[in-house]
């Protein structure tokens, strides 16, 4: 044992110096976190932004053939209770006739085909269609129940969408997007 070593240092036991190093390090870590926390906390979205993340829409008043436009994340969303004839017309369209063969439905696989069922609310609710109401050409808002295919028509540049929101004619490159949604009740749709 050298003259500067203590018995506890040679035996591997903690010394007072070890305790002081540990305590100082812990105090420094707590101080760093307390200084950094306000900067980290400010990056979280505020309550009004979180509230816009999802909305619930009562669709009990929409009989077949009626539509409703709601605002979600600053964009219009078209909700339509399609008639049986509109569903039949959309089902009759061959995928080879479509300009955009991809469903563009956030609720299913990204590469799903643009069949009527993949564009709608699903098997038991195929009459319901929910889409972001922004033309995929230049971001205009199409008119409902208009155009050559009885769906939506963007008068700005002449894009025609069918009753399933699929682009059929005009400069728009893609189908209208279907946002994430679910039926929380038979007459209430949660979007987002």
pLDDT in tens, 25-48: 899 888 888 888 887 878 777 766
pLDDT at residue 6 tops 90: no
DSSP run (H or E) holding 67: strand 66-72
Predicted confidence at residue 32, as pLDDT, reads 86
Q: Is 157 one of the catalytic residues?
A: yes
Residue 162 forms part of a structural domain: yes
Give, for 132, the enclosing helix (H) or strand (E): strand 128-132
CATH number at residue 82: 2.102.10.10
Claim to verify: residue 96 and residue 57 sit in the same structural domain: yes
Q: Is the pTM higher than 0.85?
A: no
Q: Are residues 32 and 65 in the same domain?
A: no
Expressed as residue numbers, the domain containing 178 is 51-191
The span from the CA of 102 to the CA of 119, in Å, is 9
Domains in the chain, number: 2
Average pLDDT rounded to a whole number, residues 45-53: 67
In this structure, the answer to whether residues 36 and 61 fall within a common structural domain is no
Supply the mean pLDDT for the chain: 88
Residues 110 and 22 in one domain: no
Where does the pLDDT of residue 78 fall: very low under 50, low under 70, confident under 90, or very high at 90 and above? very high
**For the residues 143-160, what does the mean pLDDT come to?**
91
Is residue 68 located within the same domain as residue 160?
yes
Same domain, yes or no, for 121 and 35? no
Dist. CA 164–CA 144, nearest whole Å: 12
- Are residues 118 and 23 part of one domain? no
Choice between 8 and 20, residue whose per-residue pLDDT is larger = 20
Q: Which of 4, 137, 157, 160 is catalytic?
A: 157
Residues 92 and 17 in one domain: no
CB 95 within 8 A of CB 115: yes
Q: Is there a single domain that holds both residue 23 and residue 59?
A: no
Q: How confident is the model at residue 94 (pLDDT cuts 50, 70, 90)?
A: very high
Sign for the pseudo-dihedral over CA of 75, 76, 80, 86 = negative
Least confident of 25-39, 122-136, 163-177: 25-39
């Amino acid at each position: 044992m050298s003259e500067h070593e203590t018995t506890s240092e040679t035996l591997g036991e903690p010394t007072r110096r070890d305790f002081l190093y540990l305590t100082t390090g812990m105090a420094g870590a707590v101080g760093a976190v307390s200084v950094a926390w306000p900067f980290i906390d400010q990056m979280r979205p505020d309550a009004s932004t979180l509230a816009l993340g999802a909305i619930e829409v009562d669709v009990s008043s929409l009989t077949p053939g009626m539509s409703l436009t709601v605002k979600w994340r600053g964009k219009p969303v078209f909700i339509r209770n399609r008639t049986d004839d509109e569903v039949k017309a959309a089902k009759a369209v061959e995928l080879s006739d479509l300009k955009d063969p991809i469903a563009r439905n956030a609720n299913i696989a990204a590469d799903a085909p643009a069949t009527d069922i993949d564009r709608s609310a699903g098997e038991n609710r195929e009459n319901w269609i929910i889409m972001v109401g922004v033309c995929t050409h230049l971001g205009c808002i199409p008119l409902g129940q208009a155009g050559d295919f009885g769906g939506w028509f963007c008068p700005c540049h002449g894009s025609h969408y069918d009753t399933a929101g699929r682009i059929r004619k005009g400069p728009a490159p893609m189908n209208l997007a279907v946002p994430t949604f679910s039926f929380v009740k038979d007459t209430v749709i949660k979007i987002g």
